Amino acid sequence: MAEGLFIHHVKQAGLEDQFHIDSSGTGGWHAGERADSRMLETAQKHGVHLPSRARKVRASDFEEFDYILPMDHSNKRDLEDLQRQYGGKAQVILMRDFDELGKGEAVPDPYYGGRQGFDHVYEMLDRSTANFLDWVRRENGF
Q: pLDDT, tens digit, for every residue of 57-70?
A: 999 999 999 999 99
Q: What is the DSSP letter of 86?
A: H
pLDDT-derived band at 76, boundaries 50, 70, 90:
very high
Q: Which helix (H) or strand (E) holds 118?
A: helix 115-140
Residue pair 69/93 in contact (Cβ under 8 Å)? The answer is yes
How many residues can be counted in the chain?
142
Whether pLDDT at 11 is above 80:
yes
Q: Classify 45 as helix, strand or coil.
A: helix
- Fold designation for 2-133: Rossmann fold (3.40.50)
pLDDT of residue 92: 98
Whether pLDDT at 73 is above 80:
yes
Domain boundaries, the chain: 2-133
Lowest mean pLDDT among 59-68, 78-87, 113-122: 113-122
Q: How far is CA 33 from CA 5, 6, 52, 133, in A?
A: 18, 20, 9, 27
Q: How far is CA 41 from CA 45, 47, 75, 122, in A?
A: 6, 10, 25, 11
Averaged pLDDT, 113-118: 86
Whether pLDDT at 49 is above 80:
yes
- Which pTM does this prediction carry? 0.92
